[in-house]
Amino acid sequence: MPYPNVFQPLDIGGCTLPNRIVRAAHSTGAVGEDLIAYHEARAQGGAALTILQIAGVHPSSPTDIPVFTDKVLPFYEEMATRLHAAGCKVFQQLWHGGAAIEQRSLQNFQQPLAPSAIPSPMVGVVPQELTQAMIDELVEAFATAARRCEQGGLDGVELHGAHGYLIGQFLSPATNLRDDDYGGNSENRTRFLREILAAIRNETSPGFPIGIRISADDQIEGGVEPEEAAAIAKLVEPDLDFLDVSLSSYWRFHRLLSTLDEGLGYEVPTSEVVTKAVDVPTIVTGRITTLDHAEHLIKSGVADLVSIVRGMIADPDLVAKARDGRESEIRPCIGTSVGCVARFMVAGKMRCVVNTAAGQETKVPFDPLDRVAEPKRVLVAGGGPAGLEAARTAALRGHDVILYEMTGELGGQVRMAASAPPRSDLGAITAFLADELDRLGVTVKLRSPVDPDVVAEEKPDELIIATGTTPRLGFQISAPSKPVPGADLPHVFTSWDVLGFGGRATIGQKAVVFDDTGTFEAISVCDALVAAGAEVIFLSRHEQLGATILYPAATVEASRERLFSGPFSFTPAVALREITPEAVVARDLGTYTERSFEADTVVIVSYHDCNRDLADYLRAEMDERSGTPRFNMHLVGDVNGTNSIMAAIHAGARVGREI
């Protein structure tokens, strides 16, 4: 069997796991049947253990899973029954947010509770310091919550002591300023946790697994660092059945969630300081997306169990496919955090950039289940993510598919985006889709643009136009009818010149990048220019980097830290006035105050032109004939004016499932 260490069983307390792949707790926004179906799909895909998302143990910390009331029991019973049938164990993460609870989620905008009156930076409300009576009440709440978990048929519980929530607030000297028995040295700061663990032991059966998740480094000045986290773990180890080690807190939010800016396994160097200090089974996490990586970590002794969360959001069957030697069929996570983290934080519902079914398992199958009775001839114009996904999905359903791509490689603009130094993982999804077309027997013609003659020759029943966009030279939205003066000078480039087709831009010493869109396009241009040795001045119509990207605190902050650590400066809320051979003249929006910036390289990142010529010509031709069209025509991806890998993939999948 491949991956012999991954597929070794492991005992945690009185619970035996069939393999070493865990899905750590994470919020989805799903409830009831939708949440059960989401976890059931990953259980059927081979996960050994699912740790359910936070469940608030007390009314002062409400969540979608109401573990502080017996009303939760039917949900637990159904969840346990269905995941157990798939061979997966289920733990519940028990949680109190402490200072990190937004007042709007509390009744009558009550004051949050915490060990000390230290606000959470993501909430900004000064919490009430817990009294002894309040502490005793919360200890009891954790214990009765654990009892309900066991009563409902779950297999164990995990206390959330990481990421700057209540238990973590007690553990960290940066947020615990108490001078009583719960503050000061490590022994006192762990007292609240140790009381909770003892109370849970009294409320649950012998052998019922109890563990804790802690941050190896809470990333707060004056807070817990790996060596102290290891000492804390040793202090509480006698009361634990397992230890789950993570990273960071709300003080550096993006590091506890990660994006593709972080390396694969980026948490491991700090986590292993803690995991190697204890003897109980341990879990590590942090951009671990393959069984090959998990096998290495387990074999090397870093941990006993490995959490793969986003890899199994992208492909719920990841473990089973790898076990069966089908790794090439695993849809890869590309790590943007835009669908899973950002969309949950903004809209309250998790989705996935590359998997249209994630979070919608009751409505959308991972791959189409139906086969067409009468296959159609499908012509796809464009080999970017939208065209590739549409072609793959249509082929899965039995259609006869042929794809034309104008350039010599598949991938579209994703190929250019992936050329930026920190963003190479983006290319994994288009590489996967290209391999899938080969596996499914789709005919692919490179260096082959589609024109009306090609359409007439191929005689498709369905034409999918995924021809994307092209940079619009000299355009800015602040003055849409007036081309930027000087935009035609030889040292002025587009993002394509910097990132695409071999890199045609001549990069000097002082570069100015103007960002009109607030997306990663301009950020990637800056990364490429800095890597080429240029000093970069970033001018933006917006107030911050990546302003139009969902939830920048999670998705953009790593890029901001990286860029500002180098030869980089940022000027917000400006428009371009003029470009000269030596400088860029910008004007402040609103005040029209002009400023000049020296530059020998200028890059304008603005809205693109949609490549609709083929669609417009064919539609006009159909209108002139006024007869029944020879084929159905569909436009997907950026050709519709979007600028998003997620929108492109989801649109391609939708069309491929509908025709």
Nearest to 56 by CA among 210, 159, 184, 131: 159
C-alpha 3/C-alpha 319 separation (Å) is: 11
Distances (CA, A) of 62 to 98, 199, 349, 383: 11, 21, 17, 46
pLDDT the model gives residue 488: 97
Nearest to 286 by CA among 193, 217, 212, 359: 217
Give pLDDT tens digits for 238-281: 999 999 999 999 999 999 888 899 999 999 999 999 999 999 99
**H or E segment at 537?**
strand 535-540
DSSP three-state, residue 450:
coil
The conformation of residue 583, written as its DSSP 8-state character, comes to: E
Which pair of structure tokens corresponds to residue 238? Answer: 């006698």
∠ CA 46-342-76 to the nearest 5 degrees? Answer: 45
Query: Could you tell me the sign of the dihedral formed by the alpha carbons of 235, 282, 11, 91, in that order?
Result: positive
Give pLDDT tens digits for 157-205: 999 999 999 999 999 999 999 999 999 999 999 999 999 999 999 999 9
- Beta strand 492-493 with 89-95 is unpaired
Question: Residue 554: CA atoms inside 13 Å, Cβ hemisphere, count?
Answer: 18
C-alpha 486/C-alpha 94 separation (Å) is: 60
State the chain's mean pLDDT as an integer. Answer: 96
* Nearest-10 crossing angle of helices 191-203, 226-236: 40
Neighbours of 439 (CB within 10 A): 12
| C-beta separation of 574 from 513 below 8 A | no
Neighbours of 570 (CB within 10 A): 17
Q: What are phi and psi of 599, to 5 degrees?
A: -160, 135
In the sheet that holds 583-588, the strands lie side by side as 574-579, 583-588, 594-598
Nearest to 403 by CA among 416, 390, 414: 390
Length of the chain: 659
Which pair of structure tokens corresponds to residue 566? Answer: 């180098």
Delineate the domains of the chain, giving CATH numbers in brackets: 10-28+53-284 (3.20.20.70), 377-468+612-658 (3.40.50.720), 473-609 (3.50.50.60)
| C-beta separation of 308 from 50 below 8 A | no
pTM of the model: 0.96
The percent helix, strand, coil of the chain (3-state, each to 5) is 35, 20, 45
Q: How confident is the model at residue 104 (pLDDT cuts 50, 70, 90)?
A: confident
C-alpha 66/C-alpha 73 separation (Å) is: 9
Cβ contacts of 569 within 8 Å, gap of 6 or more = 536, 537, 538
Neighbours of 129 (CB within 10 A): 14
Give pLDDT tens digits for 332-383: 999 999 999 999 999 999 999 999 999 999 999 999 999 999 999 999 999 9
Give pLDDT tens digits for 489-540: 999 999 999 998 766 899 999 999 999 999 999 999 999 999 999 999 999 9
Give pLDDT tens digits for 12-28: 999 999 999 999 999 99
Written in H, E and C, the secondary structure of 288-301 is: CCCHHHHHHHHHCC
Helical ranges in 367-426 per DSSP H: 385-396, 412-417
Which pair of structure tokens corresponds to residue 640? Answer: 């519709």
